[in-house]
Amino acid sequence: MNARLIKETRDLLPIFAYTLPLIVVPQLIWPLLGFGYFALAPACAVMAGSSFGAEFQHRTLSLLLSQPIPRSVIWRDKMLVLGAGIVTSLVALLLCLAVSDQVIGGPGWPALVFIPLCAFCGAPFWTLLLRQGIGGIVAAVGAPCGILAVYALVTEQFSGNEPATLVPAVLCLLLIYCAIVYWLGYATFKRLEVVDMRVKELSLPTGLEAFFVRPLTKATTPFRGPFATLLKKEFRLQQVSFLLAGIFVLIAVAGICLIKRRPEIASAIIGGDICVYALILPLIAGAISVAEERGWEMAEWHLTLPPSALKQWSAKLLATLSTSLVLGLLLPTALVAGQALSDKVAIRSALPPPPEILGWVLAQMLVTSVAIYTASYSRNTLRAILSAFAIIIAGCGICAWVGIHAAKMIEPYLFIERNTAQVDRHLSVEVQLKTLIPLLIPGGLFLMLCVVQWFAWSNFRRYGASAGRIVVQLLVLFFVPGLTASAIALAIFTLVFRH
């Protein structure tokens, strides 16, 4: 292997090490839920976007292009290493499916082929065009989905093709898209001119940023205090979250337009839009609040400002958590409620009880706080997002493992042979469990939230936490979900055993 391939492999290896467990581990733990399929698309897009995005972020692309090597050779080396990483991820998913004895159906094979292919061909072009890694990743995922959505709308409106006749046309359309974006990516790289300057990982185009920022600047002009200035800075960091919310609304509106003609397709579009958006937005909002400043090497400088570190942290949390709650939780809830009202469905009877609402709010804050924590020791927004996602998956796996074993312990006491006298007793236990569990879960979420926030704050005010400190914090973070789940199981077991 020559030096260029070794260099490209070393650049891609950390991202590959992050994404491969996200495909393999959930698929092995929950094989029937299809987490591997869900993780394959973002994993391939992340690797493809990072191939060129890391060069922009670390200002090494100008050095790469200044070498006395033809650009076609540089492109070939990058794409060879990227292709090897994507193929390895695909093979890993296939091995997981084979281990879990899952049979891939007819529609599954095209998805397994075209998801990596679209990422491999499209992400380099979008990254070079936007000159940022995360923007290229999002565009690489959104562009094929947008093309297919427009094609489905057009064919439904004018010809009303059946799904069986749409599949060959969709495959041909994706092949054309892959060929065009691969050629455009190569052509863009051949004529690329780079200015040696640091770029943001998440930023809007200049014209679009001015369009959003100008009215906000006029509206916030009367607020001139130090804390108000800190809030303005934090909300400006969140401009990508507002753009993501706008894209979510547009996709949801497109699904609502189809609700009368094709309710099943519309439900799939709206449901998938809400699921992806609800997962991505809190991670992005939490990660960019700290990682952007660390990537620009301004976090340490901010600690020397007249406002105390606690005041800066308070402004950061206020802006980040409020953005995550309003855009990531209230906005989808309002959309679903508005759709239910348009369908003349009773909203009041469908509202969950207050403890469940509190649980959703705390869960949203916890996911955002995990992203803030990972950003507190990361100099890269993308790695902070991937680390937060890995911690969340691991925490959910620990809670599920504890819950399964606790259920096996409680089941013999709960489901025993009943006589007439025992029926009322078991009904009483079930009623108490339905009352107790919604109260215990918010308490456990609040405990985990406090621990995560404390670790994030300690890393923020010290700047540059050691590797040993991070390892200890991660061990504690993995221990707390298990302890919380055990405490909830113990409370349930005590209640059942008493009866």
User: What does the DSSP assignment read for 44-107?
Assistant: HHHHHHHHHHHHHHTT-HHHHHTSSS-HHHHHHHHHHHHHHHHHHHHHHHHHHHHHTTPPP-TT
Alpha helices in 191-259 (DSSP H): 206-219, 226-237, 239-257
Distances (CA, A) of 86 to 92, 113, 155, 453: 10, 11, 32, 35
The pLDDT score that the predictor gives to residue 343 is: 57
Q: Would you state the pLDDT for residue 368?
A: 92
User: Do 79 and 73 meet the contact criterion of CB atoms below 8 Å apart?
Assistant: no
Residue 413: half-sphere exposure toward Cβ, Cα within 13 Å: 15
- As given in the structure block, the two tokens for residue 371 are 């992203």
Report whether 48 contacts 140 (CB < 8 A). yes
Residue among 464, 481, 138 at smallest CA distance from 284: 138
Instruction: For the beta carbon of residue 493, count every other beta carbon within 10 angstroms.
Output: 15
Of 25-39, 299-313, 455-469, the one with minimum mean pLDDT is 25-39
Which of these, 115, 47, 109, lies nearest to 83 by C-alpha position? 47
How is residue 466 written in tokens? Answer: 């050691």
Torsion of the alpha carbons at 250, 251, 255 and 256, rounded to the nearest 10: -30
* Stretch 194-211: mean pLDDT: 55
Among candidate residues 261, 219, 194, 212, the one with its CA nearest the CA of residue 58: 194
393 contacts 475 by C-beta, under 8 angstroms: no
Residue 242: predicted pLDDT: 82
Query: With pLDDT > 90 as the criterion, what percentage of the chain qualifies?
Result: 4
336-344 CB contacts, 8 Å cutoff, 24+ apart: 336/274, 339/256, 339/259, 339/270, 342/256
First-last CA distance in the chain? 69
pLDDT band at 417 (very low <50, low <70, confident <90, very high): very low
* Longest pairwise C-alpha distance within the chain: 88
For the chain, percent of residues with pLDDT exceeding 70: 71
Token pair, residue 227, equals 């804390």
Residue 378 region by backbone torsions, left for phi larger than 0, else alpha for psi between -120 and 50, else beta: beta
Q: What pLDDT does residue 49 have?
A: 84
Domain boundaries, the chain: 1-199, 201-351, 374-499
DSSP states along 296-348 = TT-HHHHTTSSS-HHHHHHHHHHHHHHHHHIIIIIHHHHHHHHHHHHTT--SG
Interval 361-378 mean pLDDT: 89
CA atoms within 13 A on the CB side of 189: 28
- pLDDT at position 130: 80
What are the pLDDT digits (tens) for 217-276?
A: 666 666 667 778 888 888 888 877 887 787 777 777 777 776 666 666 667 677 767 777
Taking CA 303 as the corner, what is the angle to CA 470 and CA 199, rounded to the nearest 5 degrees?
80
**Token digits of residue 349:** 């009877």
Q: What is the mean pLDDT of residues 113-141?
A: 84
Radius of gyration, alpha carbons of the chain: 25
Q: Which pLDDT score is estimated for 433?
A: 58
274 vs 183 pLDDT, higher one = 183
Q: What is the mean pLDDT of residues 367-392?
A: 85
Average pLDDT over residues 288-301: 75
- The Cα–Cα gap between 229 and 220 comes to 9
Is the pLDDT score of 421 beyond 50? Answer: no
Q: Which range among 194-198, 351-355, 358-362 shows the weakest confidence by mean pLDDT?
A: 194-198
- Residue 207: strand, helix, or coil: helix
CA distance 385 to 371: 6
| pLDDT exceeds cutoff 80 at 198 | no
| 308 or 150: which leads in pLDDT | 308
Amino acid identity of residue 43, one-letter, is: A
For 429-465, give one letter per residue: b (16+ CB within 10 A) or e.
Answer: beeebeeeebebbbbbbbbbbebbbebbbebbeeeeb
Name the helix (H) or strand (E) containing 33: none
Q: Are 299 and 293 in contact (CB under 8 A)?
A: yes
Distance CA 155, CA 166 (A): 9
Sign of dihedral through CA atoms 168, 170, 171, 177?
A: positive
Q: Chain-wide mean pLDDT for the chain?
A: 76
> Letter for the amino acid at 85?
G
Q: Region 318-339: what's the mean pLDDT?
A: 82
